[in-house]
Structure 1
Amino acid sequence: MRRVVIIGGGAIGSAIACFLSCGSPGDEPLAVTVVERDFSYRQASSALSASSIRQQFSTAVNIRMSRYGIDFFRQIGEHLRIGDEVPDIGLVEPGYLYLASAAGADVLRENHALQQAEGVDVALLAPTELQARFPWLSTEGVALGSLGLSGEGWYDGYSVLQAFRRKAAAQGVRYLQASATGLRLEGRTVTGVQLEGGETLDADVVVNAAGAWAAKVADWAGIALPVRGRCRSVFSFSCPERLPGCPLVIDTSGIWLRPEGRQFICGFAPPEDHDADDAPLEVDHAAFESFVWPTLAARVPAFEAVRMTGAWAGYYEMNLFDHNAILGLHPDCANLYFANGFSGHGLQQCPAVGRGLAELIRFGEYRSLDLSALSFARVRENRPLVEKNVI
């Protein structure tokens, strides 16, 4: 029986464990252990994510992964039920609305052509159409909008994580609360995962699903992984005025906002020169006052009267090479699999990644959805597959 050790028990690691442990009759039995340093998930991206899903990507593989993801989430109660226990992630689908200035309109059109070719239900809207549909929205400086009409929305990401974890455990996966500290290597093969305290878990297959800390795990095998934790602040606020039909809006400034119950949440990506690697998880309150709120109030006049009600910070596992996931084996290590660098869209893609990596480990190939475009080969060969729609 092959022994699989997964480093990282967040949504990605737990999805891989879940799909590995639900093999069909006749499949090779696997002994799967997930090593997770903190069962409270206090700093896990899965727990701190804004937990949204979209189809409006600029690369076909991301679109296909998220199309699988929305179908999975719509039926998650059946996929991940355990007897009478049926998970509910609170999925809603009000859509995404990308706003583009004149300078960005052509990119929006290019993306739209690809999305339509991939079967995405999306519409391009002129400023007058935007105002008719969303009268609370100012279209000052907006040349074009792209609105997802179905298959886009948000949900409870922590519930997704826990549903995958509980299902994996029910199928025999062992979860071990421990910190991995190194890999035992014999030539190009990993033979074990070393734990804090001196224990070593014997392994025939190891999966790096360590999120923001994935580069450290890769380094234990002498592999350079271009993934770094980038701190992102999320702010919640109330507004006395309702915004009927409000989708998740991505402003021309890069700020995003969406409803959250009777309130709203929003966030932004700081400028590159202020976006340090592996920075502490500290909320940038000053940015809300100086940049976020004034910009939002210009786009949605009702937001002049907002009151901030809370904030938190979480990590994006940013792939600095091309903002896309890195999946599969590295040529320099025969049995170390990677599932890293999702750059903010890992939670929505965890069903597709879980299924894909499980197939790759079991059969040596992708059988349901070809994810080979996201292999390590493109990094080694300097062939970036750039994702333009990173929020």
Structure 2
Amino acid sequence: MEDLAHGSPDHPNPLRRLTLEQLRRRTSVKWRAYPEDVLPLWVAEMDVPLAEPVARAITEAVERGDTGYPAGTAYAEALASFASERWGWETLAVERTRLVPDVMLGIVEILKLVTGPDDAVVVNCPVYTPFYQFVEHMRRRIVEAPLDARLRIDLTALEDAFRQAVAGGRRAAYLLCSPHNPTGTVHTAGELAAVAALADRYRVRVVADEIHAPVVSRTARFVPYLSVPGAEGGFSVMSASKAWNLAGLKAALAVAGPAAAGDLAAMPPEVGHGPSHLGVIAHTAALRDGGAWLDAVLDGLDDNRRLLTEALVTHLPGARYRPADGTYLAWLDCRALGLGDDPAAAFLDRGRVALSSGPTFGTGGAGHVRLNLATSPELLAEAVRRMADAL
């Protein structure tokens, strides 16, 4: 295969920097959940070194002994600046943000504000597995609105779900995944405006999980939900954790639209006690100073999408893959391979490759797997060869 490496001498592709031997010395869940003969391409961790501006900010904080409790609005200010520069979103108001431990816990706290026990939360399936787990744990009902055949939001299905969710005069919320996990779909401004109009008509509160927002191909455009007309009553929860591989440094921001500011203000103060001070420092540095490093990652991911497309055609032509512009995740349709509802089990058992199991993503997940692209081209190519050997 032709080498399609992106990057520059100043900012080489971070996905090419670490060897398998170096990665296996990591102690995070990606590298410790399976035996050493398994290639782990499942959980959303990237196989990259830490961005230098982030490493420097953390190191300097430790040298100062600056390891207490978080304070101030530097993180929100950095996010507002990043949103303006990257997405043209000029109305992210720092005063309408709240610090939360991470994106899912922030979502849970917002859902507590706008729904009650046994109320419904609408999701677009197949969708990020913890949506089901967290929502059901907090005694809310899941109502599914399946994506269409193009893996995009089906507005007819969404309206049907909204109608069902608010039946009997109940409150309801819509947990929007943007960009969508696991498909990588990047929603358009028109789609999001149509969502906002439907939500307003049915009085459904929109909570957008935008954790993957920075991880969008440089040829595409991410549109923040709160930037579209009619979204004033919605919420977004954002973090630098996916784009800069900071899941172990907990910190995220809940953002309210102008009409939802009062709801966010009612969030209990103790919610803000959970984020890590070092996490806030790291996320702030990433958003403020990590743009060049992120661009190198985005170029590397584009290379890996092309590599995966070609490798599947060569070694696993029965697997269908639609490259997407968002996230570093690939959603593979393996139904033609004869591996049943959970192909990930066969790829793990017979190919020694760990992928995310499709059925856990809800309706539409059977026969599919989610593959993490954020690794070296060599490991990605080896994983596809092993998957082919599993047949």
Give the TM-score range, shorter chain.
under 0.3
By percentage of residues, which structure has more helix?
Answer: 2
What TM-score, normalized to structure 1?
A: 0.26
By percentage of residues, which structure has more strand?
Answer: 1
What TM-score, normalized to structure 2?
A: 0.26
